[in-house]
């Protein structure tokens, strides 16, 4: 027999019902808000069957029209046919970005050893591509296209790994000059994979060479970078005397592309300066001073400064930034995955944050191959370190050091 509910019980029941209704309403509002942001992104579908990831929107660059294909002798070129990868200031056509463009190639013995290391790594079946249901790897790609929609190379590549079991988020920067095998193509720099076949080929290249799963990608270009910096009111960076002429050289190209007057935004003196989006991009792309390691350090410095300013934006400013930024992001993350990540932001805030770079220390060599300045690897050591970082409970690879 059901007991009668007294006035107090009815009141509690009513409050509970109202609370549930409010929570449901807030969840619905949150979903609609998240959906409105997600709908602004350029999402493409990807199929992952039999270990092959296929892009379903846009055409891959074919051998006939690739900017990074072969010359008449059949050798793989490092750059486009115009030879203007360094914002028009390198006429050598070798994609060396002005670094020792007239130098000779490394010795045949060193080149042969590097090519053999690549072959052995690709043919090694002792270690399969690692994956784990608790680990989600997203490849963040920054492209170097100057015009919307043009074919380009991947200027920056960061593998962002979310490990729900260990509660860590690891960001591993992959240097663009790494010399490896691009599946179905010649051995080349890592950044050439994007120009050959877009995100799908770049993801596959990383998987096959480093034996870790790449689940999804998100891609942005130069203009997004500038928009972010401008949206947060610029960033404060220390600029040296040596960097001034190089930054201004990059600015000359950007002014030309944007139809702006010559000399616009040129830097006049060194010191701790507040840089706008265009100036910050020119600073971050400087590769004439130091190695590519220092270049990626400049990129991280700018992004770190920008992130600190993003944290201080109010809701109206943040909404404005997202409305401008999201339409310029291309990704194959599903709507469900994006929504799940948004809901997990409070949880992710408590995760341990780790950073790394590939190649790791004492595992690489600078070389010159077919007119390209490249980084050759000890694949065993780099694979072992990357697998241990992303899959600490799975990595069992033996290491053979050839230093």
Res. 219: pLDDT tops 80: yes
Give the pLDDT band of residue 14 (cuts 50, 70, 90): low
Altogether, the residues listed in the chain come to a count of 403
Which one has a higher pLDDT value, 6 or 402?
A: 6
Task: Give backbone dihedrals phi and psi of 91, rounded to 5 degrees, phi first.
Answer: -95, 10
Residues 234-252 have pLDDT tens digits of 999 999 999 999 999 999 9
Kindly report the pTM of this predicted structure: 0.72
Residues 224, 40 contacting (CB under 8 angstroms) = no
The 10s digit of each residue's pLDDT in 107-157 is: 999 999 999 999 999 998 887 899 999 999 999 998 876 555 555 678 789
Contact call for residues 317 and 201 (beta carbons, < 8 A)? no
- What is the pLDDT confidence band of residue 64, given thresholds at 50, 70 and 90? very low
Among 354, 355, 374, smallest CA distance to 364 is for 374
Token representation of residue 31: 């979903």
Count Cβ atoms within 10 A of the Cβ of residue 318 and give its class: 0-12 exposed, 13-18 middle, 19 or more buried: middle
Helices 292-310 and 222-231: crossing angle in degrees, nearest 10, is: 40
233-309: CATH number: 3.40.630.190
- Whether 392 has a pLDDT exceeding 70, the answer reads yes
In Å, how far are 48, 56, 317, 319 from 323, measured between CA atoms? 30, 25, 10, 6
pLDDT of residue 323: 81
Q: Which CATH architecture has domain 42-221+328-390?
A: 2-Layer Sandwich (3.30)
Contact 219, 141 (CB under 8 A): yes
Q: Where are the alpha helices (DSSP H) in 232-327?
A: 243-257, 277-284, 292-310, 315-325
Q: What is the pLDDT of residue 402?
A: 40
Bigger pLDDT: 188 vs 258 = 188
Per-residue pLDDT for 18 more than 50?
yes
* Local structure of 125: helix, strand or coil: coil
Q: Where are the domains of the chain?
A: 42-221+328-390, 233-309
**Cα(384)–Cα(206) distance, rounded to whole angstroms?**
14
Give the CA count within 13 Å in the CB-facing half-sphere of 217.
30
Average pLDDT over residues 150-175: 85
| 63 compared with 384, residue with greater pLDDT | 384
| Burial 275-309, CB ≥16 within 10 A → b, else e | bebbbbbbbbbbbbeeebeebbebbbbbbebbeeb
| 8-22, 86-100, 102-116, 264-278: segment of lowest average pLDDT | 86-100
Residues paired with residue 212 on neighbouring β-strands, in sequence order: 130
Higher pLDDT, 80 or 274: 274
**Alpha-carbon span 242 to 82, nearest angstrom:** 27
Radius of gyration of the chain (CA): 24
Q: Dump pLDDT digits (tens) for 71-100.
A: 323 333 333 333 333 322 332 333 333 334
**pLDDT reported for residue 345:** 73
Provide the terminal-to-terminal Cα distance of the chain, rounded to the nearest Å: 82
Q: Name beta bridge partners: 55.
A: 46
Q: Are 116 and 376 in contact (CB under 8 A)?
A: no
Rounded Cα gap, residues 22 and 322, in angstroms: 27
Q: Range with the lowest mean pLDDT among 30-44, 239-253, 326-340?
A: 30-44
The predicted structure's pLDDT at residue 193? 94
pLDDT at 13 over 70: no
């Amino acid at each position: 027999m059901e007991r009668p509910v007294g006035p107090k019980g009815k009141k509690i029941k009513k409050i509970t019902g109202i609370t549930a209704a409010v929570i449901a309403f807030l969840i619905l509002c949150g979903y609609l808000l998240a959906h409105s942001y997600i709908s602004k992104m350029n999402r493409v579908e990807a199929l992952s069957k039999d270990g092959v990831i296929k892009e379903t929107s846009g055409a891959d660059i074919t051998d006939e029209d690739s900017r990074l294909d072969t010359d008449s002798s059949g050798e793989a070129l490092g750059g486009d046919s115009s030879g203007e990868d360094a914002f028009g200031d390198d006429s050598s056509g070798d994609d060396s970005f002005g670094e020792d463009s007239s130098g000779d190639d490394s010795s045949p013995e060193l080149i042969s050893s590097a090519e053999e290391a690549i072959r052995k790594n690709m043919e090694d079946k002792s270690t399969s591509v690692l994956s784990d249901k608790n680990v989600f790897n997203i490849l963040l790609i920054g492209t170097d296209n100057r015009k919307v929609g043009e074919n380009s190379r991947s200027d920056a590549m960061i593998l962002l790994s979310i490990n729900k079991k260990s509660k860590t988020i690891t960001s591993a920067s992959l240097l663009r000059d790494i010399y490896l095998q691009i599946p179905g193509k010649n051995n080349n720099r890592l950044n050439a994979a994007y120009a050959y076949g877009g995100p799908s080929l770049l993801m596959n290249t990383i998987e096959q060479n480093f034996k870790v799963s790449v689940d999804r990608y998100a891609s942005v270009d130069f203009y997004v970078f500038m928009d972010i910096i401008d949206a947060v009111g610029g960033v404060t960076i220390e600029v040296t005397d040596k960097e001034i002429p190089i930054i201004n050289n990059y600015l000359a190209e950007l002014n030309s592309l944007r139809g702006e007057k010559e000399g616009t935004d040129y830097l006049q003196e060194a010191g701790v300066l507040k840089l706008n989006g265009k100036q910050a991009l020119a600073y971050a792309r400087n590769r004439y001073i130091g190695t590519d390691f220092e270049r990626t350090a400049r990129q991280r410095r700018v992004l770190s400064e920008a992130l600190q300013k993003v944290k201080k934006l109010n809701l109206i400013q943040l909404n404005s930034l997202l409305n401008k930024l999201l339409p310029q992001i291309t990704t194959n993350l599903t709507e469900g995955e994006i929504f799940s990540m948004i809901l997990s932001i409070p949880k992710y805030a408590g995760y341990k944050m780790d950073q790394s770079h590939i190649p790791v220390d004492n595992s690489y060599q600078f070389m010159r191959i077919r007119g390209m300045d490249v980084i050759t690897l000890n694949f065993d050591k780099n694979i072992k370190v990357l697998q241990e970082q992303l899959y600490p409970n799975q990595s069992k690879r033996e290491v053979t050091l050839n230093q």
